[in-house]
Structure 1
Amino acid sequence: MKSEFLEKKKWLVRFISFISVVILFIIWFLVTNLGWVDSYFIPKPQDVWSSFIVLVTEGYKGASLFTHISNSLFRLFTALLFAFITAVPLGLLCGYSNYIRAIFDPIIEFYRPWPPLAYYALLVLWLGIEDESKIALLYLSAFAPLFIATVASVQKLPVDRINAALSLGAKKRNILWHIILPSCQPDILTGLRTAIGITYATLVAAEMVAATSGIGWMVLDASKYLRSDIVFVGIMIMGIIAILLDGLLRLYQSRRFSWVGK
């Protein structure tokens, strides 16, 4: 009985979300088609759809829409991969040892609040104008939230859990792998979701300099010519991809860590 109630509640929440999106679309349609807002600022939904069809069939500035999307996703996933394989192990070590955290924490906390464009010029000087500098910028934006989430997860781990493992004969070198890492996985996944959001926000900045492809570059380039319809298409594509990525992570989180919060 309780499971049926929870299932109905879940579907009700999804229905409310769907209705909110429909209402937002209706407001957009009415505001633009009734002429309350100039189409230069907010294009009509039908114009956005027409531009999407043109982009799918003809591409943009000599490259297909798939090419723009795949180039952006390559930069994004490469940066996230490097951030994950470096931030998580370092975060585990820093959360476990105050001495190691004392070395890295000031550096990360110092650069973390910087706007991406503040140091992007340096990355271009050091790494050039190709994908290396763009991936490095995305990497730095993803590293900090992953690192902080991992450190915080280790620090809130109950000491009794570690002491119990030690009392049962576990070696200190195995505590990190068999106790700390499994316990921190839900928070690490949450940190990864946060990192994806922040990295997406940095994507346009990463493709500002010497780029000729990428969904972020397409949005930026279209804005120069007041093509708000193409800007809307690019923003919507980025939003849909982000929702799909986050949805996959949330699905995995609910299946793999169904006990969290219960």
Structure 2
Amino acid sequence: MSLLDEKQRNAVLRTLNELRRAAPARPGEQYGAPGNGSSMALSLGTIFVVFALWFMATNHGWIKPLFLPSPQAVWAQIIEVSRDGFADASLLTHIGWSALRVFGAFVLAVLTAIPVGILMGVNRVARGVFDPLVEFYRPLPPLAYLPLVVIWMGIGEGSKILLIYLAMFAPLALSARAGVKSVAIEQIHAAYSMGASRGQVLKYVIMPAALPEILTGMRIAIGFGWTTLVAAEMVAATAGLGFMVLTASKFMATDVVIMGILVIGVLALLFDLGMRWLERNLVPWKGRG
């Protein structure tokens, strides 16, 4: 039997992807399990309950303002800092510098960690080289290697971005490797039996199957990035949300601390919602079976 030409091979491999997209709905969806609407209602309800408890605890004097300021005090600080700034910088300036550091490191991590993770998944030599290095530094807290980063890169923006980049690299690389390893060997064998090349198998079989894990890794990595931001902005920063929180804590300005935490949380939540939207559109077959 003659081998299929390149156009025919590509068409067959695309058909495999379409079959994956057309997989049956999740069992919960078939039997009327709660959908996105009810989940959203539960989420909004949880947020409402948390804010109600916060309002009651602070306005009835159960918790002193030094330990937890009221929602009104935090909102007043948001208005004041937006209008007058904090530590010689406006709120938008603080947000802009932090976003630049986190998302700059995120882009660098995506461009380097995902190829490394894919290489670890498909090549034993690469796995043997990179796996011990990633697994060694992955559990280390960023504050542990912060002094080294400062010695290597100085106190400029490079050290801040590098610290956040290192926090993001490991979860991205490991998620990409896990995605590659999750590919069913039968799909790979089927593609090779139809005459597909290694490049075509990687493009049409491995990458689509690994994409859900990669997107999940991106969501996890950005969380690590925001977590590391405060540590990164300890290094001679003059603006940024982490810098603002640290400076406010020195003056016991708890309302500014809470405000900074809320702003970081909202930014991280907006990014996560965007990643969920990408997942629904790029990998609609995720979670089906």
Aligned to 2:198: 172
Q: CA deviation at 1:251?
A: 1.1
Q: CA deviation at 1:173?
A: 3.3
- Among residues 14, 18, 21, which one is paired with 2:44 in the alignment? 18
Q: CA deviation at 1:98?
A: 1.4
- C-alpha separation in 2, matches of 1:153 and 1:256: 15
Task: Note the aligned Cα RMSD (angstroms).
Answer: 1.7
Aligned length: 261
Aligned to 2:244: 218
Q: CA deviation at 1:231?
A: 0.5
Q: CA deviation at 1:179?
A: 2.0
Aligned to 1:55: 81
- Among residues 34, 48, 52, which one is paired with 2:60 in the alignment? 34
- DSSP 3-state at the match of 1:62: coil
- Deviation sequence 1:116-155 (CA, Å, 0-9, x none): 0100111111101011000000000000000011111111
- Among residues 30, 38, 45, which one is paired with 2:71 in the alignment? 45
- Among residues 121, 124, 130, which one is paired with 1:104 in the alignment? 130
Q: CA deviation at 1:13?
A: 2.0
Runs of 4 or more above 6 Å deviation: 2-5
TM-score by length of 1: 0.96
Aligned to 1:185: 211
Percent of pairs identical after alignment?
A: 43
Contact 2:175-2:214 within 8 A present in 1 as well: yes
Contact 2:82-2:90 within 8 A present in 1 as well: yes
Distance 1:126 1:3, change over 3 A: closer
1:194 has 2:236 as partner: no
Q: Supply the AA of the counterpart residue of 1:259.
A: W
- C-alpha separation in 1, matches of 2:232 and 2:29: 46
Distance 1:8 1:108, change over 3 A: closer
Q: Which runs of 5 or more residues in structure 2 are unaligned?
A: 1-27
- DSSP 3-state at the match of 2:208: helix
- C-alpha separation in 2, matches of 1:10 and 1:110: 39
Distance 1:13 1:172, change over 3 A: closer
Distance 1:65 1:6, change over 3 A: farther
Alignment of 1:130-209 (within 5 A): 130-209=156-235
Aligned to 2:115: 89
- Deviation sequence 1:59-79 (CA, Å, 0-9, x none): 111111101001000000110
Aligned to 1:118: 144
Greater relative CO, 1 or 2 (CA 8 Å, sep 6+):
2
- Which structure has the bigger radius of gyration? 2
